Amino acid sequence: MTDTRFVLKAAAVAALLVPWASRLPAQPPEPNAQPAATPVTSAPQTAARPVAKPNEQPLVTPALEPAFRGTLVAAVDQPAWQVRFEAADGPRHVEIKELALWGAFLRPAAGVWVVLAGGGVMVVDAVGIVEDQLVANSPLTGNFAVPLRLVAGIVLQTPADRTASDRLIDRVLSLSGQVDRVILENGDELTGTITSFDGATLRLKSDDNMWDLPLAKLATVLFNSILIDKPNPAGLRVVVGLQDGSRMTALSLVSEDKTARLKLIGGVDVSLPLESIVALQPLGGSVVYLSDMKPASYRHIPFLDLSWPFGADRSVQQAMLSAGGKLYLKGLGMHSPSRITYELDEPFQRFDAEVAIDTEAGRRGSVVFRVFTDDGSGAWQERATSQIVRGGEPPVQLSADLSGARRISLLVDFADRGDEQDHADWLNARLIRQ
């Protein structure tokens, strides 16, 4: 008996061929319209290899050199900004601009989260407002102060569900308006102007009313976006991840003895134990992340009638990317079968990513990842193909040579069971500059 779903899929593919061809000079490769029994392996490719096993020293991934395992022992800014690791074969130095990733980021621990306008999250024990400063305390940083203009909001009651917590942080960062907004524990919202917050009671002036709101009734505080400086930093910087799940972007990171000193965006200085740092991910160096670029085209072919957008630094369910028990700040979430294409406006040496089914799919989902490039002639070549990747499996490394490439297309095709739970992640999908 013919499966009508596949008949519908073939019709959908045919219907989309004309629009795709009209939008691009030469048509990028199509995702498969039928389930793949085995992945294509005849194309030039770099074979996928398993990511290193957990419970070892953190993995150091330089942009160009082979990965190795090492413990962070120092950071200096002279003669060049670099970090030093203690590896099995002795000390190793890596310049920040040549580092792709060290360690693994953690989810913020339950408690109070200070959401910075630049996208960082700081886990704190206590928080309040003194004049134009947000003051807070945490076991890792001690007492510190951040100008209110650099704070997007405060999460005082953190959701247990990971997707809900990720979406809440996104809402805090993206909300626009000309008033402060307070979300209460029962879901009610009040708007107005926050006049004071001593850590126990928040005072909100709303029209002709003055509300004194006890801490226990507060869920989330969102500050007037008009008064917030939303940084758009350029140049070399590094996202720093801490043991408690805090993450912040630093323009400078140096260490003295066992203390790390960070200068955050906006000029905020933070000191903390060097050993509390569990992850470093530089931005603005030799690595360019596809999620920071605007795609030339994207298309998902619905298996029936549900169309999935792609996620930039998010899964297809708009949660932070997660696979193999780890959290990933950068990457692309795509649902099979789909294709995304980028123009390359400068020469790159290589494309690298770790590919997996997102944790949100559980042990379901099965896909094949493919990388194609075009040298400008319109002749697409398959440069890398994974084996079938299934839900619950650890991420695998996928690399492709980009010599002469002017465009790159990433494809996700379904495998075992149609597109069921095919929440595919291109983790840390990145281009390596020449």
What is the model's pTM? 0.87
Residue 104 has pLDDT above 50, yes or no: yes
CA 109 centroid distance within chain: 18
pLDDT 10s digits, 291-330:
999 999 999 988 777 889 999 999 999 999 999 999 999 9
Cβ-contact 270, 280 below 8 angstroms: no
pLDDT 10s digits, 146-185:
999 999 999 999 998 989 999 999 999 998 889 999 999 9
Radius of gyration for the chain, computed over Cα atoms and rounded to the nearest angstrom: 23
Share above pLDDT 70 across residues of the chain, in percent, rounded to a whole number: 88
Predicted pLDDT at 46:
43
pLDDT 10s digits, 358-385:
999 999 999 999 999 999 999 999 999 9
Alpha carbon distance 412, 44 (integer Å): 17
Residue 54 has pLDDT above 80, yes or no: no
Predicted pLDDT at 247:
97
Q: Compute how many other C-beta atoms are within 10 angstroms of the C-beta atom of residue 217.
A: 15
If we measure between CA atoms, which residue out of 331, 322, 357 comes closest to residue 431? 331
Residue 200 has pLDDT above 70, yes or no: yes
Helix, strand or coil for residue 165? helix
Cβ-contact 370, 426 below 8 angstroms: no
Average pLDDT value over all residues in the chain = 88
Q: Which residue would you say has higher pLDDT here, 16 or 428?
A: 428
Predicted pLDDT at 354:
97
Q: Which residue would you say has higher pLDDT here, 421 or 8?
A: 421
Q: Which residue would you say has higher pLDDT here, 20 or 11?
A: 11
- The confidence band for 27, taking pLDDT boundaries of 50, 70 and 90, is low
Mean local confidence (pLDDT), 425-433: 97
Burial status of residue 198 (CB atoms within 10 A of its CB: 0-12, 13-18, 19 or more): exposed
Helices (H) and strands (E) in the chain, counts: 2, 36
DSSP of 67-90, one letter per residue? PEEEEEEEEE-SSS-EEEEEETTE
Residue 403 has pLDDT above 50, yes or no: yes
pLDDT 10s digits, 129-155:
999 999 999 999 999 999 999 999 999
Alpha carbon distance 368, 238 (integer Å): 32
